[in-house]
Amino acid sequence: MKLLSNLKFISFYFIEVKWIQWIYVSLCSCIFPTSHPLFQTIQDTLNTNQIEVIGFASLLFLNLFFKNHDDFSGLKQAIFSAKKIEHSFIPHFLKGIFISSFFILIFLLSGNYQYFGYWNHFFATPSEWLRIFLRIAALILMIYTESLLFYAQLPVLFASHLSTPLTAIFIAFVFCVMKNLQFHLTAMEQISLFLLSCNLFYRSRPFSQFTKSTGFWAGIFILFHVFFSFPLFGHEFNGIVFIQITSSPLFKKLSPQVLQLLTGGSNGPFSSLLFQLILLLDLIIYILKKKKMR
């Protein structure tokens, strides 16, 4: 029964996101005919702001989830307490930033990435900073919700039936299926998310500590997408710093296809083989470190 209950929550979360998108488009189609140029503009805006839509759906879901929990105030305190943020979220958030920065530094030093300056500086209009704040808030809400579902609820149900590696693989598979239905991922992005999910799974153990995985995930997404303006699953965003891929003398003998495989090309770091290797190496080091501590 508990398994069905948790699967119900995951299904409801995914359906809720699609439902909000459908309502938005339906309302627009009632106001404007589909042949109207403004209707296409509204659809383009929805695609551009899909992460914000998922963030809003996550906020509604979290509110419903907490209200349906027996210990409403206790659960909120366990997840959002200052102690959890200080000792779990922030250290792993910084670890996510470190790994992402290491990836970017490699290609900056090799000449494959070039720094072009700021999209927004400290004198930017308030609306620009509001746009950045909303994207960060949407990402954190999405990450908190999906971490709660995939790395706090589901693992407990399978821990007694499957081995730890099999549980990690199963949850990563389900996670990738849901994200692919949300964003229509490329094969390389799915591999990156699979490795990221396994990493998040092990970081969240014991599963009451899922805020560790939340921080690690948020650090990677915010640094790549919001700070360095890399695309996230096909979604462009003009963040704070602008970095672009350029040709490097060090890799001039490599074919464009191999170079794209290494850097991720226009799809961003989540399509990069090097980033996948960094995630895999970090996962192995984390598992070995935990084994030594036992």
Q: For 69-114, what is each residue's pLDDT tens digit?
A: 655 555 555 566 677 777 788 999 999 999 999 988 888 877 777 7
In a domain? residue 156:
yes
| Entry pTM | 0.84
CB atoms near residue 148 (< 10 Å): 22
Domain interval for residue 153? 81-293
Task: Report yes or no on 22 lying in a domain.
Answer: no
The answer as to whether 57 is a domain residue is no
Rounded distance, CA 287 to CA 199, Å?
9
The residue ranking higher by pLDDT, 136 or 107, is 136
* Rounded mean pLDDT, 218-242: 87
Is residue 172 domain-resident? Answer: yes
The residue assigned the tokens 């969240």 is 204
| 61 inside domain | no
Is 36 part of any domain?
A: no
Contacts by 239-242, CB closer than 8 A, 24 or more apart: 239/119, 239/120, 239/132, 239/135, 240/118, 240/119, 240/120, 240/132, 241/115, 241/117, 241/118, 241/119, 242/115, 242/116, 242/117, 242/118, 242/119
- Per-residue confidence (pLDDT) for residue 250, from 0 to 100: 63
pLDDT above 70 (res 205): yes
Residue 41's pLDDT band (cuts 50, 70, 90): low
* 272 belongs to a structural domain: yes
Share of the chain above pLDDT 70, in %: 75
Q: How many domains does the chain have?
A: 1
pLDDT band at 219 (very low <50, low <70, confident <90, very high): very high
Does 287 map to a domain?
Answer: yes
Q: How does pLDDT run across 146-181, given as a tens digit for each residue?
A: 888 888 878 777 767 778 889 899 999 989 988 888
